Structure 1
Amino acid sequence: MTGPIAILSLRVSGQSLAIAQTEVIEVLPVPRLATVPEAPEMVTGAFRLGAETVLVIRLATLLGLTAQPEGDALYHHLLLLPARDGAARLALLVDRVTNLHRIEPTLLPAGHSFNDCVTGDVQIDGAVVPLLAVARLLTAKDLAFAEAFALRAEARGV
């Protein structure tokens, strides 16, 4: 066991999910997004945050969830991810960040999920909720696509 950690609980296409707070820089409201031409399905759009272009990726699409998003899009959230050296700035689009908890996760063995993107489970309001590892959600191919589209968006001055 690792001891209690700060966990963000999320709703994504009818599913309850969790992410360690340390993997997210900030929770933001969804601004007006510019379309990124020829973007893969996972890319919802892009926006400017100061001098940076942030590429928005729909978490439901990454996870293969097909249910409609919950609630009014006006209340959806972006999870701004830490900048990676020389890489595109990314944000994950979720239906809602519902709460911040301090919980001890039950860790899962390696190989339990695709690319080990589920690292454990947490108990939230009596339900077992998967704990996602943000760094493992995107494959190398996804990151290459995201990087190429972010560079084009940057060049266009999105």
Structure 2
Amino acid sequence: MLVVFTLAGLRCAIRHADVRELLPLPRLWRAPTQPAPVAGFLNLAGEAVPVLDLARLFGLPDGEDDPGAGLYRHLILLRATPVALLVTRVQDLVSFAPERLRPVADKATLNGCVEAEFELAGGFVHLIAVDRLLLEEERQALLGLRAAAEARLEGWRAQPA
């Protein structure tokens, strides 16, 4: 099963097994020093979850100039790591035969983050490997940002008297 979504006019997908939850876009909070691909942080039951704007990460137009664009955007909360992906819109959940996937060479995309392509009605869809979205340095920086956000949330929790 694959979760198909749009991203700045492109159709992409990730494996359903990598998805913990699909969410409408809530209000995010931003730290003043966070890098552009980090759209902000989601407070999920007291846990600071960094939100990666995939359009910005991939250098695509993010639609911020369109005032209504953010109303219908979605978050894809990942299962293996406390990170959510900001996408234009989740479209569908599809079953797909593995033999219909056409592998993409690792060197064709940064860090080999697009692992395959497949065809659906209306064109090609890029299958993204979530474990290869970030370079190791980016992953470590994101962990540091998350720790700082967690510390900030902790400061707002009620202290025992």
TM-score > 0.5, shorter chain as reference: yes
- Answering whether residue 93 of structure 2 is matched by residue 97 of structure 1, we say no
Q: SS of the residue aligned with 2:149?
A: helix
Q: Is the 8 A contact 1:14 1:67 kept in 2?
A: no
The whole-number CA distance in structure 1 between the counterparts of 2:22 and 2:56 is: 19
**Rg larger for:** 2
Match of 2:10 among 15, 24, 32: 15
Match of 2:78 among 71, 77, 81: 81
Q: Which residue of 1 aligns with 2:53?
A: 58
* Structure 1: 5+ residue stretches without partners: 1-5
Percent sequence identity over aligned pairs: 36
TM-score for the superposition, normalised by structure 2: 0.84
TM-score for the superposition, normalised by structure 1: 0.85
Root-mean-square deviation (Å)? 1.8
How many positions carry a matched residue from both structures?
149
Q: Which has the higher helix share?
A: 2
Higher relative contact order (CA 8 A, sep 6+): 1
Q: How does 1:2-151 map to 2 (within 5 A)?
A: 6-66=1-61, 68=63, 72-84=69-81, 89-104=82-97, 105-151=101-147
Residue-by-residue CA offset, 1:76-132 (whole Å, 9 max, x unaligned): 100101244xxxx21010010011111122223443322111111111114121111
Q: Is the 8 A contact 2:74 2:86 kept in 1?
A: yes
Shift of 1:144: 1.5
